[in-house]
Amino acid sequence: MPFTLSIDEAPPRSGLVWRNGFADLGPAFFTELQPTPLPAPYAIATSADAGRWLGVSPEWLASGTALQVFSGNAALAGMRPLASVYSGHQFGVWAGQLGDGRAILLGETEGGIEVQLKGAGRTPYSRGGDGRAVLRSSIREFLCSEAMHALGVPTTRALSLTGSPAPVYREEAETAAVVTRLAPSFIRFGHFEHFATQGRQAELRQLADYVIDRYYPDCRGTDATAHLGGNAYAALLQAVSERTAALLAQWQAVGFCHGVMNTDNMSILGLTIDYGPFQFLDAFVPGHICNHSDHQGRYAFNRQPNVAYWNLFCLGQALMPLIGDTAHAQAALESYKAVFPARFIARMREKLGLLQPGAGDGDAALIDGLLQLLAQGGVDWTIFWRRLSQARAGGDYEAVGDLFLDRTGWNRWLLSFQERNALEDQALAADLMLKTNPKFVLRNHLGEEAIRAATRGDFTVLHTLQALLERPCEEHASQDAHWADFPPDWASTIEISCSS
Ligand code: AMP
Ligand code: MG
């Protein structure tokens, strides 16, 4: 489009070489277009770690060229910017065509990393939206993407956060921002649903073949397909089911509530994608609903594992024309039901520092009993696990007991835990717990503090949080204790909705 420059870079150069695999799929899958430039862009934050992964230097990340690219004001030679088309089920209802309404894929590097701008202007899929993202929600997405990565949870990454004084109107006037996101692919379940519902089998097959060739090559092997009638597409469904199961086990273990698990927000690679009204649990309330727009509680914390299965079922239905045999699709989906509980228990055993194989199903009962106690007491999820880890490392079990109003149940559980503990190497167990149970997570009120300061032009809170969340399991300095504390009373008044 007229204002966007395609620039040959002056030093420092990004050194990036583009290969644009998705763009080679052809026009049925996207519309090629340029981002809409943003006026007076300013750099707010970058992730040096995401930059290392992409293969660019901190000098380039801080350069004027990078700022122009991250705000949609320039494209690098070799990029092929596009917006992709997808459909999806939203809140359990078929929503028809959606698509990248405000995300623009700039290109894919030779190293296989796609670079995408979120909030870079209107596209043919904007459906009346303005194609922009506000600063408030972009801060949350930037911080949480990198926080999740540091917690070891599969996620799209955030390379940079760029602001602009351009006004964006939501409930009130706000200002614009762009998050530059990275992932090996941004393909969603909804991309498959799009072509399946339109009966476009050739495109459906082309997309599935692309995903298998690029990301799931094992699905063509006999090992993966033997029990699925040799069908690579059923093997793909199984592989995605397993990755999604592993992802959900991680969400549930770290207390992450996504908030909008629509099929268009489900990554074909099993990544956490589209950070909107997400929340890390404060008190452990299993039925917690983090999205203020989710009146039915469809995406309540404890429903997430079932919703993921429901979403996989939609993917299975979309792949049916390629799989052919219902029994094979069902067998592929069935893997979720085995992998999720197994992965969840494995994660919880790590959190408890249980390295040795337990006797019988004793560990499952131990975990179950603990979850019931935590729910009964509405105990703070993150603080409980961190204090338990510290107690195990030679600290004080009193500090853990203090979290429970009713001590009887806790004391009884602690006795059985300590009995089970006796099987373990204490130093190894404590080390595992301290590395598994973070001290710092992006609680809603912390995000809110960063947002309030940023709205005043002060980005120091954001930068402090970024540094802590990059190493969430380390102790950090004593003056950082504030960021690991219980939520203040006002935290419960924060309302996060789909507005972003
Ligand atoms: P989400 O609930 O954020 O996943 O968004 C659902 C759909 O709406 C996606 O196709 C988005 O691209 C699109 N969308 C959300 N916000 C905007 C916006 N401000 N402008 C254009 N499209 C949007
Ligand atoms: Mg989305």
Using one digit for the tens of pLDDT, what is the confidence trace for 138-171?
A: 999 999 999 999 999 999 999 999 999 999 999 9
Hey, is 175 helix, strand or coil?
A: strand
What global pTM score does this model have? Answer: 0.98
> Residue 133 — φ and ψ, nearest 5°?
-125, 145
Q: Give the ligand at the shortest distance from the Cα of 156.
A: 2
* Cα–Cα distance measured from residue 103 to residue 126, given in angstroms and rounded to the nearest whole number: 9
| C-beta 96 within 6 A of ligand 1 | no
- 102 CA distance to ligand 1 middle (Å): 6
Hey, is 230 helix, strand or coil?
A: coil
pLDDT of the residue at 4 = 59
pLDDT of the residue at 8 = 74
| C-beta 131 within 6 A of ligand 1 | yes
User: If you take atom 17 of ligand 1, which residue's CA is the nearest one?
Assistant: 129
Is 456 exposed, middle or buried, given 0-12, 13-18 or 19+ CB atoms closer than 10 A? exposed
How many Cβ atoms from other residues are within 10 Å of residue 226's Cβ? 10
Which atom, in ligand 1's list, is nearest to the CA of 123? 21
Q: Where are the beta strands (DSSP E) in 316-392?
A: none
pLDDT of the residue at 9 = 83
- For residues 341 and 248, is the Cβ–Cβ distance under 8 A? no
Asked about 264 being catalytic, the answer comes back as yes
- 128 CA distance to ligand 1 middle (Å): 10
Evaluate the omega torsion of the peptide bond into residue 12 and state whether it is cis, within 30 degrees of 0.
Answer: yes
- Low-confidence spans in the chain with pLDDT less than 70: 1-5
* Cα–Cα distance measured from residue 400 to residue 392, given in angstroms and rounded to the nearest whole number: 11
| C-beta 258 within 6 A of ligand 1 | no
pLDDT of the residue at 5 = 63
- What are the residue ranges spanned by the domains of the chain? 3-183, 189-349
| C-beta 386 within 6 A of ligand 1 | no
| C-beta 294 within 6 A of ligand 1 | no
- 23 CA distance to ligand 1 middle (Å): 21
pLDDT of the residue at 224 = 87
pLDDT of the residue at 2 = 40
